[in-house]
């Protein structure tokens, strides 16, 4: 079962870091990012805006290891 959520179905909470999936040069890519209050996607640790049309899915970040 996939944990990926379509951006057409629901967007992540504003400002919360998540995994984003989209396309770049016809390849699927996964990267960490967040949504801005405007609904735009940005790369984590950056002010670089991601082209919204390229982001198709998102999911919460996994929990870090316990050890």
| 42 or 52, higher pLDDT | 42
For residues 57 and 19, give the distance between their C-alpha atoms in angstroms, rounded to a whole number.
8
Give the mean pLDDT of 32-48.
84
- Helix then strand then coil, % of the chain, to nearest 5: 5, 45, 50
More confident residue, 51 or 48: 48
Query: Where do the structural domains in the chain lie, given as residue ranges?
Result: 5-60
- pTM (two decimals): 0.80
Confidence label for 53 from pLDDT (cuts 50, 70 and 90):
low
């Amino acid at each position: 079962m996939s944990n990926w959520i379509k951006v057409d179905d629901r967007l992540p909470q504003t400002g919360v870091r998540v995994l984003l999936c989209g396309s770049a040069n016809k390849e699927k890519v996964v990267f960490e990012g967040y949504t801005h209050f405007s609904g735009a996607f940005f790369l984590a640790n950056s002010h670089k805006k991601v082209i919204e049309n390229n982001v198709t899915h998102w999911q919460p970040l996994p929990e870090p290891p316990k050890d």
